[in-house]
Amino acid sequence: MQNQHGNRVVIIGGGLSGMATAWKLADAGEQVLLLESSHPGSGASTVNEGWLHSGGWFARSSRELAELCHLGLQETLQQFPGCVEPEPRGMLYLISAEGDAVDQWVSAWEEARIPFTGIPCSQTVERIPELRYPDRVRAFLLPDCSAKFDVLIQELQQRAKECGAEIRDRSHVVRLLKDGDRVTGVELADGSQLEAGTVVLAGNAVGMDLLRAASPGEAGGQSSRECVSLRTHLLSLPRQPCRGAFCMPDELGLHHLPHGDRSIFGLNRWQPVADLSGDTPDPHEQELLRRRLFEMLDIAEPGNQILSEWAGTTVHAMRPEQIMPGEAPLPAVVDYSGENPTWRNLIAIFPGRATLWNSVAGQVLSKLQHS
């Protein structure tokens, strides 16, 4: 075991959470080593929909999450303006004109202080010409963006390195090293052991295996939160002619984000899954997404259009009352010194949304400074 690194912070995982944390901690003067199994951004952070949330989508289910997302959007645009698709800006929220849904969304956005503008039907049609029933919805423009999260990770990596963080790719951690209730370091797949003053687990779904192996039967059994793996399905089409970002916050919750030469679509459906690593798409879920998409948009038949279909899994640490697929889990940064079972020197990040990279990194720094 190397022993000159007793104070160093070892971060496991080079997604948005790990990379942002490496930057924040190195910037604050910590000695940081980030270990990534594959290459930075090989996990959920880049196989997602690239939706930089304004928080509008969550405003009715969780005002707190909506406000956090809105802050995350503003911070991202301010610090890394190059990591969003240039045009067209903003996202149309298409709300059923029937009943009182419009009033409810408008008050939720007002309460969360998320800016929005009502859009006349003619502009909706201009922005999404293939929308089948534009007169059945009221449209509002909110500041959500299409993010290039791969670019964001590169930028964060650059900043982390400039602040002195060491980033090692192809370094798969197989085990947390423990001495009593203290985590003292990590073991890599090549058998080498690295000492750490603090280990930050930012491995998302795959990283959960480390917790499970370190304490069989207890991982995720904290008193206040439960770890839940949720899977959702996406598909991509060529971007033209579907150019504008939009979402339909109804029961199925279709959404669309334009990216370069492709458009990505998803539904607001998240299934709890036990298998953390496999991302094999479920044919039933894909069919549901395809059907909804071609029901709502007047575009060519699926066979010739679909570029790819995939599923992705992410881990949320939820309070028990939140465990409802599709609900809005808050980001969590868990310091295991205050949990049961207790592991000192171990912090885990469960961002829930890529948009919240800055918030979770800030929370890790604050926990480290107060420990």
Ligand X SMILES: Cc1cc2nc3c(=O)[nH]c(=O)nc-3n(C[C@H](O)[C@H](O)[C@H](O)COP(=O)(O)OP(=O)(O)OC[C@H]3O[C@@H](n4cnc5c(N)ncnc54)[C@H](O)[C@@H]3O)c2cc1C
Contact residues toward ligand X (CB under 6 A) are: 12-18, 35-38, 42-45, 48-51, 53, 172-173, 202-204, 206-207, 210, 232, 234, 312-314, 349, 351-355
* Cβ neighbours around 334 below 10 Å, total: 22
Please write down the HEC assignment for all residues of 327-351: CCCCCEEEEHHHCCCCCECEEEEEC
Q: CA-CA distance, 253 to 81, in Å (whole number)?
A: 28
Q: CA-CA distance, 100 to 93, in Å (whole number)?
A: 15
Output 138 or 263, the one with its CB closest to ligand X: 263
| Residue 42 Cβ vs ligand X, minimum distance, rounded to whole Å | 4
Output 66 or 138, the one with its CB closest to ligand X: 66
| Residue 34 Cβ vs ligand X, minimum distance, rounded to whole Å | 9
Task: Give the pairing of strands 137-142 and 117-119.
Answer: antiparallel
Q: CA-CA distance, 134 to 176, in Å (whole number)?
A: 54
What 3-state class would DSSP assign to 192?
A: coil
| Residue 23 Cβ vs ligand X, minimum distance, rounded to whole Å | 13
Provide the H-helix boundaries in 16-165.
16-27, 63-79, 101-111, 121-127, 149-162
Task: Give the pairing of strands 137-142 and 145-146.
Answer: unpaired
Output 98 or 275, the one with its CB closest to ligand X: 275
Residue nearest to ligand X (CB): 15
Output 197 or 331, the one with its CB closest to ligand X: 331
Output 48 or 358, the one with its CB closest to ligand X: 48
| Residue 4 Cβ vs ligand X, minimum distance, rounded to whole Å | 22
Output 78 or 122, the one with its CB closest to ligand X: 78
| Residue 155 Cβ vs ligand X, minimum distance, rounded to whole Å | 15
Which residue from 316, 315, 349 is spatially nearest to 333, judged by alpha carbons? 349
| Residues 281 and 311: beta-carbon distance below 8 Å | yes
DSSP annotation string for 194-219: EE-SEEEE--HHHHHHHHHHHSTTTT
Output 134 or 281, the one with its CB closest to ligand X: 281
Q: CA-CA distance, 268 to 51, in Å (whole number)?
A: 13
Q: Which amino acid is at 21?
A: T
Q: Which amino acid is at 150?
A: D
* Cβ neighbours around 174 below 10 Å, total: 14
- Residue in the block written with tokens 């899977």: 231
Output 222 or 313, the one with its CB closest to ligand X: 313
